[in-house]
Structure 1
Amino acid sequence: MSKTFVNPLLVHGADPWMYKHEDGSYYFMVTRRNRLDLWRSDNITNIANGDKKTIWIPEETGINSNNLWAPEIHYINKKWYVYYTANDGGGDSTRKIFVLENEEEDPFEGTWTDKGFINTEYAGLDGTVFEHMGSLFFLYAGYGHFPEYGSAIYMAKMINPWTLEGENVLLSAPTDPWELQGGMAINEGPVILKNNGKIFLVFSASTCWSDDYSLGLLTCSEQDNLMNPKSWIKTESPVFQKSLENEVFGPGHNSFVKSPDGKEDWIIYHAISVSGAGSAHRSTRAQKFGWDEQGNPDFGIPVPIDQPIDVPSGE
């Protein structure tokens, strides 16, 4: 008889980021608003009961003192980095993405050094990084065309893990009806997924408090120029969205990890269990996904909470 688990992994867990390290450990972060917490476990499904540490508490005032959102931990050039959104308590125009660095092998040890904010062209949120062919790239949701729409996905090259160089290229703007739900036009929460010679940029669309928050997809060949917006093809409809039958609303803002044995792909995302309940009720969920015949991700339908799911292989 197979071992199972049920969602949610964390009842109060918005904007979940999970990262599988080279030693097999899983690291996990969610929006905590007034601090940055880091979890660690040797598996996916018990992450909320793993080691936990508050790694950063901001000053009471200042440019990064309020609204700490969507933290992500990354391991780059044998150092740990955490990217998070924050502002001074004001509006969207003061929102920036900040970077912390830790040189210790164990991110639960050592000192997290404030590297300041990323020099993005626009105010914004939801910063993430990825490496491709020896170069480092930065993605974020920027307010570059406000008030036409709330946020769009931009990309820039990086000199180092805390500094951008050159143009911030617009890759995706919210123009279709499924990206305009909840009262604002939103593309946010970019994350990269690679498979079969393709690079996929998965993003969240519409407002996070809407039942219709969902995931969109851009696809690029790994041989193409990533900084050319024409290299990216946008799927015309959501690739992961609400399920009325399963009572899952507003699924989005996700990350991706491999199972402990590396054989399965899992999406870690937040969703809401009651229609109209809003962003305060976002919880972290996990489910396995597959690939179609063309090598594109097939995320399926979000599963109900409390439904037994086979644990990731190797767990």
Structure 2
Amino acid sequence: MLRLPQLLLHATFAVGAWGQSYSNTTTYTNPILAKGGADPWVFRHHGWYYMTYTTNDDVTLLRSQVLTDWNNAESKALFTPPPGMNYSTDLWAPELHQLNGTWYVIFTADPRNDSPSPEVDMYCPYNCPAVHHRMYLLEGHGSDPWSATFVYKTQLDTFDQFAIDGTYFQHTSGLYHIYSCWTTQYTAWPANLCITKLENPWTVASPFSERQIISVPSLPWEKTPYGRAENDRLSSNEGPQQLTNSRTGQEFLVYSAARSDNRNYCLGLMELAPGGDPMNPSDWRKHQYPVFYQNPAESAYGVGHASFVKSPDGTEDWIVYHGMQDPTNGWSARTIRTQKFTWNDDGTPKFPKPGYGPYDAPSGQ
């Protein structure tokens, strides 16, 4: 059943710190940001939830005291790129991480509004509008991300090849960069998952010969259209996110598959073997079925590019993701949603069916 967004039951309103007005309810409905958005990255720090998401033009940070309603959240631009740079246009999927006491924003951008010249495009076997996309970093110093001042740091080396949706993967053996990549500079499709080891958050330690592809879209649900056999055009693995089972210590990589403007966009799951090396592809096990996918009964389509966060009291796990009600409208139809998830007996995440609610609010909210 379709429901109007932000239908709040038994609602009261309160004013939190800094004068922010927020809803204090026992239930909520999706989407949690009415104006739309995609590629949400959410984390909790010192009593606040923070969110970044794709705006295309800049890196915007929101903060809210509740996870389930961002319509009245405070907002500020952390970074607006100057024109004429390699990172001036199409800023996608920013993530904000605190590493060794310093804040880093990792994001995707390109110099040409996703439009290569014919002299470049001709090298690609398929059309390759994203051929110039690369990964970039901002650096911020301060006790919290809201008061920190962010400056452009550097381009994160991906060997002058296509790279989008980069994230940090933190492991006992070190820090890694996992991102969506092509096999070669002009391959165009499929989009795979690559990993490199980092010397520090802005320096890649792996030479190109050591870069590893740990996943390719080989399963029917990872392809667009579903089960495409004749070629790999539009088949994607992207949006990787680290997820750790705090009870068992199991390390997972949740990623998006198929195509982000399509009803079939979904989440896949990879698990790192106990004691495994993140740089060794054979130490990763891909689950053979998607773990979070469309729910036509509730018109919840194209669900993917997730991040993960705890409830205010730390007792519950929540997935924040984007999806569509009308997949025929493609990227413009995406909105940001959240739902609680639990864990299976084997330690893998147990995600719910995507929908609109109403759902119980997070514990402690």
Alignment-mate amino acid for residue 62 of structure 2: W
Equivalent in 156, 164, 169 of residue 125 of structure 1: 164
Q: Is the 8 A contact 2:340 2:352 kept in 1?
A: no
Deviation sequence 1:72-115 (CA, Å, 0-9, x none): 11111111111110000133221101000001113223421211
Residue 246, structure 1, aligned to residue 270, structure 2: no
Q: Which moved more, 1:175-184 or 1:132-141?
A: 175-184
Equivalent in 131, 134, 139 of residue 96 of structure 1: 134
Query: 2:41 maps to which residue?
Result: 17
Equivalent in 267, 275, 289 of residue 223 of structure 1: 275
Aligned residues: 312
Equivalent in 92, 98, 112 of residue 150 of structure 2: 112
**Superposition deviation, residue 52 in structure 1:** 1.1
Segments of structure 1 that go 5 or more residues without pairing to the other structure are none
The residue matched to 1:207 in structure 2 has which SS? coil
Alignment-mate amino acid for residue 287 of structure 1: Q
Q: How does 1:1-315 map to 2 (within 5 A)?
A: 3-11=26-34, 12-21=36-45, 23-89=46-112, 90=115, 91-121=129-159, 122-133=161-172, 135-145=174-184, 147=187, 149-166=189-206, 167-182=210-225, 184-195=234-245, 196-303=248-355, 305=356, 307-315=357-365
Root-mean-square deviation (CA), in Å? 1.6
Q: Distance in 1 between matches of 2:278 and 2:359?
A: 37
**Superposition deviation, residue 256 in structure 1:** 0.4
**Superposition deviation, residue 148 in structure 1:** 7.1
**Superposition deviation, residue 56 in structure 1:** 0.8
Query: 2:3 maps to which residue?
Result: none
**Superposition deviation, residue 219 in structure 1:** 0.7
For the pair shown, which has the larger CA radius of gyration, 1 or 2?
2
The residue matched to 1:287 in structure 2 has which SS? strand
Alignment-mate amino acid for residue 256 of structure 1: F
Check 1:234–1:13 CA distance in 2 against 1; reply closer, same or farther (3 A cut).
Answer: same
Moved over 6 A (4+): none
Q: Distance in 2 between matches of 1:243 and 1:293?
A: 24
Q: TM-score, normalising length from structure 1?
A: 0.95
Deviation sequence 1:216-265 (CA, Å, 0-9, x none): 11111341112110011111111111111011010000100011111000
Alignment-mate amino acid for residue 123 of structure 1: F
The residue matched to 2:298 in structure 1 has which SS? coil
Structure with more strand by fraction: 1
Q: Is the 8 A contact 2:33 2:69 kept in 1?
A: no
Q: TM-score, normalising length from structure 2?
A: 0.82
Alignment-mate amino acid for residue 236 of structure 1: Q
Q: Distance in 1 between matches of 2:327 and 2:241?
A: 26
**Superposition deviation, residue 281 in structure 1:** 0.9
Deviation sequence 1:284-306 (CA, Å, 0-9, x none): 00000111111110112111x3x
Q: Distance in 2 between matches of 1:140 and 1:40?
A: 26
Check 1:289–1:68 CA distance in 2 against 1; reply closer, same or farther (3 A cut).
Answer: same
Check 1:314–1:73 CA distance in 2 against 1; reply closer, same or farther (3 A cut).
Answer: same
Q: Is the 8 A contact 1:9 1:284 kept in 2?
A: yes
Q: Distance in 2 between matches of 1:82 and 1:220?
A: 25
Segments of structure 2 that go 5 or more residues without pairing to the other structure are 1-9, 11-24, 116-128, 226-232
Q: Distance in 2 between matches of 1:201 and 1:110?
A: 29
Alignment-mate amino acid for residue 136 of structure 1: L
Q: Is the 8 A contact 2:182 2:188 kept in 1?
A: no
Q: Is the 8 A contact 1:26 1:47 kept in 2?
A: no
Identity between Structure 1 and Structure 2 (%): 37
**Superposition deviation, residue 4 in structure 1:** 0.6
